[in-house]
Amino acid sequence: MTGVVVAGGGLAGLVAARHLAKSGLDVTVFERESSVGGRVRTTRENGYTFDRGFQVLFDSYPAVRRELDLDALSLRAFSPGATLARPGKRSVLSDPFRDPGALTETLFNREIRLADKLRILRLRRELANADPAAIIDGDRPSRTIESSLADRGFSRRFAERFVAPFYGGITLDRSLSTDARVFEYTFKMLGEGRATVPAEGMEAIPRQLAERARGAGVRIETDATVEAVEADAVTVDDETIGAEGVVVATDPKTAGELTGVDTPDGTRGCATVYTSLPSSTPLDTGKRLLLNVVDDRPNQVAQLSTVAPEYAPAGEQLLAATFLGVPETDDEALFEETRDTLSSWYPERTVADLEHLRTERVPFAQFDQPPGFRAGLPDPDAPDGQVVLAGDYTRWCSIQGALESGRVAARTLQDRMGV
Ligand SMILES: Cc1cc2nc3c(=O)[nH]c(=O)nc-3n(C[C@H](O)[C@H](O)[C@H](O)COP(=O)(O)OP(=O)(O)OC[C@H]3O[C@@H](n4cnc5c(N)ncnc54)[C@H](O)[C@@H]3O)c2cc1C
């Protein structure tokens, strides 16, 4: 066989494959698992939809708008902002521009001081005018989220009570030691769009990408592991196959092993505890995320079926409680912590009916993104010959990073092949 081989059928590989096929190349994707999607996967069981770890799609990400048919995904959106929860107390902090109904609650929220609420509006205005690519790629000095907040005059209280749980949930790093570019980019995107999940679960995203790739002529082979990559051939499950070009779109560790290129090696994981509660016990926080302002046990709880009713059978609510890192605690103990935390947030009602459904432990969700991390990431054209890299690890850890990397990798390979 000749043609182009894409190793890995995650978001990046699927996008790269489609763009290459659209330029007239003969493209085959080899995916190690039994289905495509990589880190974006969903399991359905007994009428519930369990994403592989709580995750959302920001519909304002430029690459999301470019690569996906969002209407076909039937997106279900969270309300802007969040409910800040601590024992005996819950309060709303929202975006008055996008959620005017929550203006009074937001103004009178006593967790966060007025001066910080005004600073949020100033930051919103500052970032509204910024070019997204310049936020992530620009040559401003790098700093942590924590120091970028301090430099902008935000109080420690604001950092601890809102940013730590909210962006800790996005970066899986509640210490706010991640590069501030990630915070600024996602803050801008949330000001301009919504956090959503597809009605059929997050896996609907790679499913759509795979359909589009097949539509462009791509062949996708699952249960097929790429074991070695040469300039003109790949070895797949002990068989050597000729290739005019190769896109290595695996996870960063495997990409490093296959190409010899340095890839980021730090890992951030999480565990999501899925529970159900009868619909007769509403949590009254609507479609807002519940943030733990006190600690990370759990860091946040999402009422998924309030946002996407399709995620739970009739009469039941599906809640997703996320713990950062990969806790050593067993599933039962994590569930008990979730129940205890929820009952401390809701002393006026019982959560005795809370039932443990499933725990998703994801040891590798993201790589470390400390200040300046972008300078250490490999370029798509780092390998020699007709071999290029795709994957979030060539840009930054997100659906945006993965989708964008696929397009860039395809263009890079086309240039190398003179197509
Ligand atoms: C729990 C969790 C929550 C997240 N939350 C969000 C969120 O809310 N918003 C957001 O934007 N991003 C989120 N992310 C990050 C986002 O999902 C990833 O950045 C993105 O999916 C990475 O895609 P990728 O294609 O670069 O890599 P991957 O998804 O890792 O895909 C790599 C693919 O290569 C395959 N592969 C590996 N080795 C081989 C081999 N030798 N041969 C063949 N195939 C191979 C793998 O099986 C996999 O399918 C989250 C991730 C996780 C896990």
Quick one: pLDDT band at residue 58, thresholds 50, 70, 90?
A: very high
**346 pLDDT above the threshold of 80:** yes
Residue closest to 97 by CA, chosen among 117, 70, 115: 117
Query: Is the CB–ligand 1 distance for residue 399 below 6 Å?
Result: yes
pLDDT of residue 349: 86
Strands 195-198 and 289-292: unpaired
Who contacts 86 (Cβ-Cβ below 8 Å, separation ≥6)? 111, 292, 293, 294, 345
Nearest CA to ligand 1 atom 41: 226
pLDDT of residue 106: 87
Q: How far is the CA of 373 from the centre of ligand 1 (A)?
A: 18
Nearest CA to ligand 1 atom 10: 398
Residue closest to 67 by CA, chosen among 210, 240, 281, 239: 210
Who contacts 358 (Cβ-Cβ below 8 Å, separation ≥6)? 43, 45, 48, 50, 274
Quick one: pLDDT band at residue 305, thresholds 50, 70, 90?
A: very high
Higher pLDDT, 137 or 6: 6
Query: Is the CB–ligand 1 distance for residue 186 below 6 Å?
Result: no
Query: Is the CB–ligand 1 distance for residue 402 below 6 Å?
Result: yes
pLDDT of residue 1: 55
Mean pLDDT of the chain: 96
- The mean pLDDT of 138-163, rounded to a whole number, is 95
Strands 239-242 and 289-292: unpaired
- The mean pLDDT of 174-200, rounded to a whole number, is 97
| CA torsion, ordered 16, 22, 25, 29, to nearest 10 deg | 40
Rounded to 5 degrees, φ, ψ at 210 are -65, -40
Who contacts 397 (Cβ-Cβ below 8 Å, separation ≥6)? 182, 366, 367, 369
Structure tokens at 347: 């002393």
Burial of 134 (0-12, 13-18, 19+ CB in 10 A): exposed
pLDDT of residue 108: 85
Ligand 1 pocket check: which of 42, 251, 373, 408 to mutate, most ligand atoms within 8 Å of Cβ? Answer: 251
**155 pLDDT above the threshold of 80:** yes
pLDDT of residue 86: 97
**4 pLDDT above the threshold of 80:** yes
Ligand 1 pocket check: which of 14, 42, 55 to mutate, most ligand atoms within 8 Å of Cβ? Answer: 55
Q: How far is the CA of 11 from the centre of ligand 1 (A)?
A: 7
Q: How far is the CA of 406 from the centre of ligand 1 (A)?
A: 12
Cα separation, 78 vs 381, whole angstroms: 38
pLDDT of residue 234: 98
Query: Is the CB–ligand 1 distance for residue 369 below 6 Å?
Result: no
Determine which of 92-96, 113-117, 201-205, 210-214 has the lowest per-residue pLDDT on average: 92-96
pLDDT of residue 138: 84
pLDDT of residue 2: 67
- The mean pLDDT of 275-280, rounded to a whole number, is 95
Kindly state the percentage of the chain with pLDDT values over 70. 100
Q: How far is the CA of 249 from the centre of ligand 1 (A)?
A: 10
Nearest CA to ligand 1 atom 5: 55
Query: Is the CB–ligand 1 distance for residue 8 below 6 Å?
Result: yes
Rounded to 5 degrees, φ, ψ at 251 are -65, 160
> Of ligand 1's atoms, which has the minimum distance to the CA of residue 254?
38
> Which residues is 242 bridged to in the sheet?
233
Who contacts 48 (Cβ-Cβ below 8 Å, separation ≥6)? 274, 276, 311, 312, 313, 316, 318, 357, 358
Tokens 């994981």 found at: 269
> Of ligand 1's atoms, which has the minimum distance to the CA of residue 397?
19
Cα separation, 80 vs 58, whole angstroms: 12
pLDDT of residue 277: 96
